[in-house]
Chains A and B, each alone.
Chain A
Amino acid sequence: MSHPALHPPPRFANVVREQVRAVALALRVPAMAALAVLVLGSGLAIGEFITGGGAVDFAPELSMVPAFVGLLFPIGVWKGENRFGTSFLWLLPVDRRQHALAKVAAGWVCLMVTVLFFLVWLFVLSLVTGGNILGEHAVQLLPSTVIPEARTLDPAALRAVRYAPDPVFWLVPFTAATGTYLLTSAVTLGVRYPVRWIIGVPLSVLLVSALGAAARIDWLKLLASRLLRFVFDGRYGLDALFTARAESLKTAVVLTTGKTVSVWRAFPDVGDWALATTLWIGAGLAALMAAALRQREK
């Protein structure tokens, strides 16, 4: 039996390229809104600078914005796609699983461009306002011998140091956004109602913790609080991914003078950050691959 000359399916590179265009178009409205926020932020920062306020330092690793953008990005990427129904995407002549991953990859490209744009904006704002573009700033360091939980602290125990982040930390916004993007993409692809899961899981842990406290079940309260601390503030927790622990290494202490100051317990460590980032991105990729299995050809 002979059949007519069959049409070839599209090249995968062409599919990814077209998906980048489609995703960029889908994100046009939120991108315009984000741009408006940046313009507003620029106006406020420059206004503050003109009226004698502080300059904006370029410290990309301190911003959690890219991580949160990565968290929300999949909503825009999958806008209008009925992932578990007869989506338009599935009608096209590409293997469903590969197509889903191509769309995720296209979204990631758009995300990286967005993060880069954000950093360039931050950098230009630092230049315009005369801020430190190397991110150097003076910090108060808590010596390791001091117990941070102590109620009051002698100001003499604090050490004033000049902290300049390792330039490798300028990658943090990209890796943080990648990690959160992969995780939420996995949830978006793997479950029908991703928002319920993204909000529901941490809310459940908080609820368990609150119930433990209300019912005076100490072990339950302790378990929930340890879990939250491990996931968010732990050495390889989400804060390590988001800010190289720049947030969780900071703490507020009350001085014997009665003043409350923000101090650093230690400086972010490149090794810890690299390991945490590898773990979270690895987990995100593994989750994404598992989730994509739900979208395989029928």
Chain B
Amino acid sequence: MSNVLDRALDGAVSTYAVSTQGLTKRYGDEVALNAVDLRIPEGSVFVLLGANGAGKSTALKLLLNLERADSGVAEVFGLDTRRHGPRVRAQVGYVPERHDAGYRWMTCDRLLKHVAAYYPAWDQTYADRLIGALEIRRNRKIGGLSKGDTRRLQLLMALAHRPPLLVLDEPTDGLDPVVRKRVLTLLAEHLADSPTTVLITTHHIHEVENLADHVGILRAGRLVIQVPREELQRTVRRYRLDLPDQWEAPRDLVIPAPRSGRVREVQWTIVGDERAVTERLTTSGARVREVVSLPLEEAALAFLPDEGTR
């Protein structure tokens, strides 16, 4: 299934901002990432989805060389992350999953000066604009910041040096709806102003629907799909069907919880080319009453555990 979808990515893209081959990470007996081959086209907004513990944050840490992979290779703009960790981090604006912005005794203003010293490309005018837009209180101590304040400061630090790659791990986590909307607008403006590739993980898929142009889904450490968003939404459809008595599901069609029995109407989310799926269903005796395209969130849920039958 994912191979069919992956072809679209391989065929269309020649340059990847991020690519990994067989990236594997274990914590003791637990496999956090299992032979992940991630490919993020340059200039794209790649949304990496998955349930809690699927390995999303681990993947991001490996890309920044904050953790050591057990096997496999990761490259960011052609730089091997293990050999060029500092150079890779110089290209990345990173918002970590944890709400920990830095030194608790520093003020926001001092921390920003501190971070600016590490990025020669730091754009102070832009930073000042972001301070206003994100309502950062310069004189507040880091230790006294709320979860939302910390997240806004982390976003500012990630954006202000206009990095070629933004790696955002749950960037809107802890933000109230108003700020969340403002952050997403800022992010959209940033993408319009600066040539940036974005790798973003989130549980609020609907928020990034307008930004996302590629989607990857991790399940139990495995990358089950990575595909352009349109391709995903084109390939994952909801079918309303009438099933005849003693209906048998076609063997080559992945049907969530196929049932036999008396005639009944069902709604299933099925992955595959619409024409081919419809043909297979019709041949098997099912009557396709309606085919509906899905929003990104629902299409993505088809690849997450226990979300197939709806």
Interface residues of B in 159-175 (CB under 8 A from A): 161, 163-164
Q: Do B117 and A18 touch across chains, with their CB atoms under 8 A apart?
A: yes
| B94 CB to nearest chain A CB (Å) | 6
Contacts of B163 in A (CB 8 A): 7
In-complex Cβ contact of B120 among A8, A18, A96 (8 A): A8
Interface residues of B in 168-208 (CB under 8 A from A): 195
Contacts of A79 in B (CB 8 A): 103, 105
| A258 CB to nearest chain B CB (Å) | 57
Contacts of B91 in A (CB 8 A): 6-7
CA distance A79 to B143 in the complex (A): 13
Interface string of B59-97 (1 = CB under 8 A from A): 001001111100000000111001001111111001010
Given A25-B105, A26-B105, the answer on whether A9 and B164 have CB atoms closer than 8 Å is: no
Interface residues of B in 1-43 (CB under 8 A from A): 14-15, 17, 42
Contacts of B14 in A (CB 8 A): 1
Given A3-B77, A14-B117, the answer on whether A25 and B110 have CB atoms closer than 8 Å is: yes
Given A1-B14, A2-B15, the answer on whether A10 and B120 have CB atoms closer than 8 Å is: yes
Interface check A4, CB cutoff 8 A: yes
Candidate in A7, A21, A79, A297 with the most chain B CB atoms within 10 angstroms: A7
Interface check A22, CB cutoff 8 A: yes
CA distance A25 to B100 in the complex (A): 19
Interface check A80, CB cutoff 8 A: yes
Interface check A269, CB cutoff 8 A: no
Interface check A15, CB cutoff 8 A: yes
Interface check A93, CB cutoff 8 A: yes
Interface check A95, CB cutoff 8 A: yes
CA distance A190 to B68 in the complex (A): 19
Q: Do A88 and B85 touch across chains, with their CB atoms under 8 A apart?
A: no
Candidate in B82, B85, B96, B121 with the most chain A CB atoms within 10 angstroms: B85
Interface string of A90-114 (1 = CB under 8 A from B): 1111111000000000000000000
Name A's B-contacting residues (CB within 8 A): 1-4, 6-11, 14-15, 17-18, 21-22, 25-26, 28-29, 79-80, 86, 88, 90-96, 297-298
| 11 intermolecular pairs with C-beta atoms under 8 Å apart | A8-B90, A10-B120, A25-B106, A86-B61, A88-B100, A88-B102, A91-B96, A92-B118, A93-B88, A94-B118, A298-B66
